[in-house]
Structure 1
């Protein structure tokens, strides 16, 4: 899969505008990018998920703080970015937290990150927001917003059937590709909530005309209408991603 992205890389240099926010160290667990953040006054380890439309607070974390409401407006701080009033949903995240060494406090989604340049450096695990972007070699892929989620066009095949559509940029799943259950069905028992696993295989995945074969995959039942699937950390690992502030391009650099 490294060769799949490497085949897309071009030689160029890009410099972004002056920094407005900041950066923080992150780490990988179960195929997810995790970084320190604060929702309200609740500091903790939060999953950074570009394929999540909304920011979520684990109900266990909320109950520890005496919060019983299913949704409330709270400030969110991550990597120097401060969002003063975000409608945060309280949810049961036990399934998404399975396999993590320490409890996951919640998920930071695109409702917070939208409108900002987001860089995730997988090799060194750094999350940068509104920081200058420089890359000597990179692939630049066009991005389309679908119900608030940045997506890129990709195609997958299991051999006899091929599927092409908008795939979300997933930074919280181990699988290289997850297909919406609207588009595909499991032939056997498959835990859709186990995003830290990729038990299935797809014959092929194509992005920008570049083909990868025998792709680790899974299904997803949490993607909005119009999103065919998502492309996960199994694809992006060991690279740097940069989603521009207008969410019109995704740059991928080694």
Structure 2
């Protein structure tokens, strides 16, 4: 069955218009970035997700470490950095980690990363955190402005189903295994046999005709729908699309840099 993602004509018509650098190896697995880290003293493998507004500790890991609260502040250790007093949430994350061969201890979100310049290379997979002003030149790169919406870094991108198109703010999600997801306020997947499966952690990937980003257009992309936390969000761009570049999230300067591999 050929399933396509179709944009909503009605909705679109209403749319108005001083420390040493820390580096760690990572894994690009099941379409997301995974890093070794320690959260609240719990060491393990964590999904690195710039598309998550809050850092999460898996409930099973929290219980095993003796934590009974579902929310508390603790330190996050990543790439040799200690990020103090991060507000954590304790949640079950089995729905997004069931396909991993080893346990995932949690999710490191944008709240723990936003003070740093974060470089992500996918092949080989490396993650580097630097203080503002310490990052070396990134080489020839395309620079895009980053805007924060609902605690998430976003960039402007354009999507099209062939007949309709719109430009909006898409969250950047290194922890999303889908190339692009569009807000269900602006798109649908007609004919999906199980509609819930076109949402995050579902198995269906309807095709989106095109996405334009940084002056380049990608076509026939595996896509999906998402219910964003804020109506200003048009959707999210996942790690499988970012994989095409070396990526620098210069959060303090409000810039995204995309360089050739």
What TM-score, normalized to structure 2?
0.84
Which structure 2 segments of 5+ residues have no match? 1-17
Shift of 1:208: 3.2
1:89 alignment counterpart: 89
2:208 alignment counterpart: 202
Contact 1:174–1:198 at 8 Å: present in 2 too?
no
Q: Where in structure 2 are the equivalents of 1:108-119 lying within 5 Å?
A: 108-119=108-119
1:31 alignment counterpart: 31
Helix, strand or coil at the partner of 1:95: helix
CA distance in 1, matches of 2:109, 2:183: 19
2:155 alignment counterpart: 152
CA distance in 2, matches of 1:135, 1:116: 15
Contact 1:98–1:194 at 8 Å: present in 2 too?
no
Contact 1:75–1:83 at 8 Å: present in 2 too?
yes
Aligned length: 236
Given candidates 147, 160, 168, the residue that maps to 2:171 is: 168
Contact 1:57–1:88 at 8 Å: present in 2 too?
yes
Q: Structure 1's 245 and 203: CA in aligned 2 closer, same or farther, altered over 3 A?
A: closer
Q: Structure 1's 172 and 199: CA in aligned 2 closer, same or farther, altered over 3 A?
A: same
Helix, strand or coil at the partner of 1:234: helix
The answer to whether 1:248 aligns with 2:254 is: yes
Contact 1:167–1:230 at 8 Å: present in 2 too?
yes
CA distance in 1, matches of 2:19, 2:222: 36
**1:151-201 CA-partner distances (Å, limit 9, x unpaired):** 110011112232220011111122211112333234322422317x56111
**1:58-87 CA-partner distances (Å, limit 9, x unpaired):** 111112222221111111111122112111
> Pairwise CA RMSD of aligned residues?
1.9
Worse-matched range after superposition: 203-212 or 21-30:
203-212
CA distance in 2, matches of 1:206, 1:40: 40
Shift of 1:241: 0.5
Contact 1:179–1:230 at 8 Å: present in 2 too?
yes
Shift of 1:205: 0.5
Helix, strand or coil at the partner of 1:119: strand
CA distance in 1, matches of 2:169, 2:79: 28
Contact 2:150–2:229 at 8 Å: present in 1 too?
no
Helix, strand or coil at the partner of 2:241: helix
Contact 2:144–2:155 at 8 Å: present in 1 too?
yes
Shift of 1:209: 3.6
Worse-matched range after superposition: 34-43 or 205-214:
205-214
Shift of 1:222: 5.0
